A and B are shown apart, each in its own frame.
Chain A
């Protein structure tokens, strides 16, 4: 078994990602769980770098670590009473484990038949493309063009924007002062 530098980095990043994920669900302190989530997401960003996708790595850091994880931590800080859980709070671990195993099998069964096409013939092969010159230098430009190309990903892109718009309107509706006033009036 031959370990290249890339596969060592891949193993380290995978360990960070999976170990962080495991600690997220097993940590008793919610704040620590939030921090482990951030570590796990950082590992995913490292995997993106390894896959010659620096743009996705950057987006991963900006969106997931810089915005989503920090908002989760903010919410945890605002609710200190649930930060320390004395006992297991949720008894669904067996069901969740089965679900996770199912998705793992699903992913493996989807990816393994096309591993030859992707140029990966052994688990310790180079984890980037065989020939780095194959990676287009302006992959960001291609990504942007594909996102708004009607033949490619325009529909998911637009659907996602509609979804975000709905979430935005829902958030505004939830905290709108009219509703708060109506609630107050109802109680009076």
Chain B
């Protein structure tokens, strides 16, 4: 890699106001363009990957592999009619998409995307600057605060539309986001404690003790899992997409929005996905740290980007896998399951940090191993219980549908189960005229 020679002058950028201004403007421009392009291609990624999961093809006609699909979508949305409902609160109705979009765009300002690099400038000197906008020492608080402002966009959109569905969607989302924000805040406290700093850059650097095993997910898997769930709820993604449950609320809080205002909500949702993936990668998955990044700082953003894409794929995968949670269960889960477990995870890491300071040696390692053991045991116990409980009911339902010519021809079904199913499915069968056979009466 290139770098400043022995004779060249290297200046810290942070101390110079001109350099700081130029760096901020250029970094903001790069960050915004990357986020907007990322939004466009996250939509393609989501549609193609969901299609793959559901054995469909997905959009593949616009350009090679459907890569020009976002352009077509954008043109379509620009030419849509922009409707404002007659009795809507006009100002709030206009402001809501902005209030939802701006926090999603600025939340990543405190995340550094790579180690510091030295850059040559026209005056012949080299400037050492960070590969992020600004790394303030209250970065984690910034992340929490800006995400909480984003809730206002949803609430205001729901209220100002003068529409029952939109109102209910706004209500649901505000309650949900406030509930899950507590768990998210607690899950963010764990990296802060482990790193001993609230700056995102320090948290990322603290995960570089060991090549991969230094990531905080290996210190406290419970907190990482809670963080992942809370972040999903925070951006209203499936299975927590109650605010826009189509079957119950049409489109939820953005029912009345059309054209580019709708596109802004869409943009905010997908940029929010990218943002929370970035935050998750920075907090628990080592940020930009991976092999060779320490030697070649310019690889940092690439590694970070790959981690973000991996997390995005997981989010889409979750959407393709899990059904939506009922609203009361969602709130109960947030308050009665997530919050106590988050408190336990915070206490666990606090004990680990204190032990590490007082005893030293392998105390942290032992605590991490025990945490992983408990986490895996608990998860397998819970998943095993869930599987046992739901198996008979779902199997029975499937068989009723395929029952046409007697129970003998069913594929791969144990005979006892098949008998139980045909006994249970008798009434359903009798209602269908083409089923033939024993019809009562």
Residues of A in contact with B (beta carbons under 8 Å apart): 31, 35, 38, 54-55, 57-59, 61-62, 65-67, 70-71, 73-74, 77-78, 137-138, 140
How far, in angstroms, from A151 to B181 measured CA to CA in the complex?
34
Q: Dominant SS at the A interface?
A: helix
Hey, which chain A residues are within 8 Å of B138, CB to CB? Answer: 54-55, 57-58, 140
Hey, which chain B residues are within 8 Å of A66, CB to CB? Answer: 144-145, 147-149, 151, 178, 181
How far, in angstroms, from A74 to B138 measured CA to CA in the complex?
28
The contact of A38 among B152, B175, B181, by CB within 8 Å, is B152
Question: Contacts A70-B174, A73-B155 hold; do A65 and B149 have CB atoms under 8 A apart?
Answer: yes
Q: Dominant SS at the B interface?
A: helix
Q: Is B137 on the interface with A (CB-CB < 8 A)?
A: yes
How far, in angstroms, from A65 to B145 measured CA to CA in the complex?
8
The contact of A67 among B142, B148, B158, by CB within 8 Å, is B148
Whether the Cβ atoms of B145 and A62 lie closer than 8 Å is: yes
Looking at A70, A71, A78, A140, the one whose CB has the most chain B CB atoms below 10 A away is: A70
Chosen A-B contacts, 13 in total, with CB atoms closer than 8 Å, are A54-B138, A54-B141, A66-B178, A67-B148, A70-B178, A73-B174, A74-B155, A74-B174, A74-B175, A77-B170, A78-B171, A140-B137, A140-B198
What band does the interface of chain B fall in when counting residues whose beta carbon is under 8 Å from A?
20 to 34
Question: Contacts A70-B178, A74-B175, A77-B155 hold; do A59 and B141 have CB atoms under 8 A apart?
Answer: yes
Hey, which chain B residues are within 8 Å of A61, CB to CB? Answer: 141, 145-146, 148-149
Interface residues of B in 253-276 (CB under 8 A from A): none
Give the residue name and chain of the A residue nearest to B182 (CB): A67
Question: Contacts A54-B136, A67-B178, A140-B137 hold; do A62 and B171 have CB atoms under 8 A apart?
Answer: no
Give the residue name and chain of the A residue nearest to B136 (CB): A54
Hey, which chain A residues are within 8 Å of B186, CB to CB? Answer: none
Whether the Cβ atoms of B137 and A58 lie closer than 8 Å is: no
Hey, which chain A residues are within 8 Å of B156, CB to CB? Answer: 35
Hey, which chain B residues are within 8 Å of A38, CB to CB? Answer: 152
Looking at B152, B156, B181, the one whose CB has the most chain A CB atoms below 10 A away is: B152
How far, in angstroms, from A160 to B174 measured CA to CA in the complex?
27
Question: Contacts A31-B159, A62-B141, A62-B145 hold; do A70 and B152 have CB atoms under 8 A apart?
Answer: yes
